[in-house]
Amino acid sequence: MVAPERPYDERLTAPRSWWLIAALVGLAAALALLPLGTLPALGGLIAGAALAAVLISSYGSARIRVVAGSLVAGEARIPLSALGRAHVLDRGEAFAWRTYKADPRAHMLLRGYIGTAVRVEVTDADDPTPYVYLSTRAPQRLAEALSG
Which string of b and e fits 96-119 if b means at least 16 CB within 10 Å?
ebbeeeeeeebbbbbbeebebbbb
pLDDT in the model for residue 6: 61
**For residue range 59-87, what is the model confidence (pLDDT) as tens digits?**
878 899 998 889 999 888 999 999 999 99
Domain map (residue ranges) of the chain? 10-59, 81-147
Residue 4, pLDDT > 50, answer no
**For residue range 80-137, what is the model confidence (pLDDT) as tens digits?**
999 999 999 999 999 999 999 999 999 999 998 899 999 999 998 888 999 999 999 9
Give me the numbers of helices (H) and strands (E) for the chain, helices first please: 4, 8
Residue 26, pLDDT > 90, answer yes
